[in-house]
A and B are shown apart, each in its own frame.
Chain A
Amino acid sequence: MLKIGDKEFKSRLFTGTGKFSDNATMKAALEASESELVTVALKRVDTDNEDDDILRHLGHERINLLPNTSGVRDAKEAVFVAQLAREALGTNWVKLEIHPDPKYLMPDPIETLKATEELAKLGFIVLPYIHADPVLCKRLEDAGTSAVMPLGAPIGSNRGLRTQDFLEIIVEQSNVPVVVDAGIGAPSDAAKAMELGADAVLVNTAIAVSPNPVEMGVAFKMAVEAGRMAYEAKLAQAKNFAEASSPLTGFLDEL
């Protein structure tokens, strides 16, 4: 079981709500994926309307909402949006996304660190979206983050784990759960991330833009389970035994 903050998750597949052709398809795909944590952009929710279409479709008992701060450009705006989301959606969980750059939506590490410090002090369970930067991950831990969400490749690019070398370091060093976010384009990418020891993955585009989002949701569910199982069973490794040129321990025979 994966534990983040005070919640336990059976499923290690987190999902998003963007880019689906319609909300009914979104609901069907997310249910099929058995995801228990679903991120939703506060900017897309009509907080004044109790019958908001997205929220209505996410009203499944298993699904926990993870509001995100998409659209903010700095720490100050992020803290404000997180507080609004807490009021509107009744959760202190927040996926912190600060990307001042509108083209590639690259996360701003400095503002993200500042906002994490502030939000953790305010009692939020913070899951920051970041570059695969091992030092930033440790700084975020010090700041009180509840998980880290490094990117595998640029958001929405479906290019897979381009940051694998750094993800491996992050996984090795982390004291908080590592959720690989962004870039995962195929179930095999998700399985690979799980084999590397990631605690969960967050997938949106690859499910949402598939011609068959429901089947793709199932495919990701299975891939994440397979990857995790392989990690726990410990992967066999390619052998890289040294070939002794001149023995280094020969002296022991003479001592």
Chain B
Amino acid sequence: MTFYEKFKEYDWERIKSDIYSKTARDVEHALSKDKRDLEDFKALVSPAAMPYLEQMAQLSHRLTQKRFGKTIQMYVPMYLSNECQNICTYCGFSLDNKIPRITLRPEQIEREMKVIKKMGYEHLLLVTGEANQTVGVPYFEKVLDQVREEFSHISMEVQPMDQTDYEKLIDKGLNTVLVYQETYHQEDYKKHHPKGKKSNFQYRIDTPDRLGKAGIHKIGLGVLIGLEDWRTDCFHVAAHLDYLEKTYWKTKYSISFPRLRPFSGGMEPKVVMDDRELVQLICAYRIFNEEVEISLSTRERETFRDNVIKLGVTSLSAGSKTNPGGYSEEKDSLEQFEISDERSAQDIASMIQRQGYEPVWKDWDMALS
């Protein structure tokens, strides 16, 4: 049994219609309960919840402080490679996008690490495109050997792999894997991923199951906002989270909801989520699940990021470069997407402190892996 079995029981159109037909009464019911189920989540992300946004924000604020205190975790991505065998309609690394391709060599990784360490980071996120020939398991094993001495917590956002591959990488010090489904709309998923291994919807949706079986410490879930109706897509993330928490109960979970950003050769989003709706979504996830980590990348604008700290977000990246070698040498090479908040890590840390929160640079240790 994997999540795909459960997923097959969901009917996209029915779930969408459930969400859009929720009423104020359903929202009030969800807000007044002590624990919420997936039906309540539908109400919380529904248009009917919009007039309750301030109430949702207050509740989300209290629940987040209860579980996480006044802290914000700091992480930073290191892009190792922009090589990619997939065509994804929304991504700058897409195979059909004619850009110079780079995969970092050990000495380049060393230079990147030095810059990132100086910024104060202990939580590193390794990112690549999906190119198994160049950036496959042997490459990752070498990279993990190189970086694990320097960083306390290592995450990866790379191509989905088999369980045995994950087991090898976990042995090498990998703590977290982020794998976003992009969209749970199975037919449109195929349209957005016409070529490459990524076009296999089922293999991707079952990746968290393989990670859970491999015994990973933390799994990150999410969709790319802009591809499909975000409310219905985000319901599926909540359902996936619910299933995983019950099945792989020793694993921690985080969620993220990147909004589609401009990139070289870009596609216009099919749906646009405004700031008010993103606040609704953050609060809905928090009210639905008090324990899940919620992270927000530098895709979002400064003012927005400053204000959502109190709303439910628990981790932030800052000072990010989304091109391989971007920290130390490749200042002008092509980015995966344009970042929106260009402030330095220290600026972000000061902003967090001004709000009465503590930026947490280290919250894990290799000894625990």
Which of A's residues lie within 8 Å of B, judged by CB? 138, 168, 172-175, 234, 237-244, 247-249, 251-252, 254-255
Contact = CB atoms under 8 A, between A and B. Distances in A.
Given A252-B279, A255-B275, A244 B31 contact: no
B279 A237 contact: no
Given A173-B246, A252-B276, A255-B303, A242 B35 contact: no
Nearest to A141: B249
A244 B58 contact: yes
Nearest to B243: A175
A162 to B, nearest CB: 19
30 contacts: A168-B35, A172-B35, A173-B245, A173-B249, A234-B29, A237-B29, A237-B33, A237-B34, A238-B32, A239-B32, A240-B34, A241-B55, A242-B55, A242-B59, A243-B58, A244-B58, A247-B57, A248-B57, A248-B61, A248-B307, A248-B310, A248-B311, A249-B276, A249-B279, A251-B304, A252-B279, A254-B303, A255-B275, A255-B301, A255-B304
B62 interface: yes
A contact patch SS = loop
Contacts of B311: 248
Contacts of B144: none
A138 B249 contact: yes
B344 interface: no
B54 A248 contact: yes
Contacts of A239: 32
A244 B249 contact: no
A249 B54 contact: yes
A247 B53 CA distance: 10
Given A174-B246, A240-B34, 18 more contacts: A138-B249, A168-B35, A173-B245, A173-B246, A173-B249, A237-B33, A237-B34, A240-B32, A241-B55, A242-B55, A248-B54, A248-B57, A248-B307, A251-B303, A251-B307, A255-B275, A255-B303, A255-B304
Most buried by B among A172, A241, A242, A247: A242
A252 B276 CA distance: 6
B247 interface: yes
Nearest to A234: B29
Nearest to A138: B249
Contact of B55 (A237, A244, A255): A244
Interface of B: 29, 31-35, 53-55, 57-59, 61-62, 245-247, 249, 275-276, 279, 301, 303-304, 307, 310-311
Most buried by B among A174, A242, A247, A249: A249
B307 A247 contact: no
B33 A248 contact: no
A238 B32 CA distance: 7
A172 B36 CA distance: 10
Nearest to B57: A248
Nearest to B31: A241
Contacts of B310: 248
Contacts of B57: 247-249
A254 B249 CA distance: 42
B146 to A, nearest CB: 35
Given A241-B32, A242-B59, A244-B58, A252 B246 contact: no
A176 to B, nearest CB: 10
Nearest to A169: B35
Most buried by A among B58, B62, B301: B58
Nearest to B301: A255
Nearest to A174: B246
Contacts of A238: 32
A213 B31 CA distance: 43
Contacts of B34: 237, 240
Contacts of B301: 255
A237 B32 contact: yes
B62 to A, nearest CB: 7
B32 A248 contact: no
Contacts of B276: 249, 252
5 closest A-B pairs by CB: A242-B58, A248-B57, A251-B307, A237-B32, A138-B249
Contacts of A240: 32, 34
A108 B54 CA distance: 49
Nearest to A175: B246
A214 to B, nearest CB: 37
Nearest to B60: A248
B292 to A, nearest CB: 14
A249 B53 contact: yes
Nearest to A243: B58
B244 to A, nearest CB: 12
Contacts of B275: 252, 255
Contacts of B58: 242-244, 248
A244 B303 contact: no
B204 to A, nearest CB: 24
Contacts of B245: 173
Contacts of B35: 168, 172
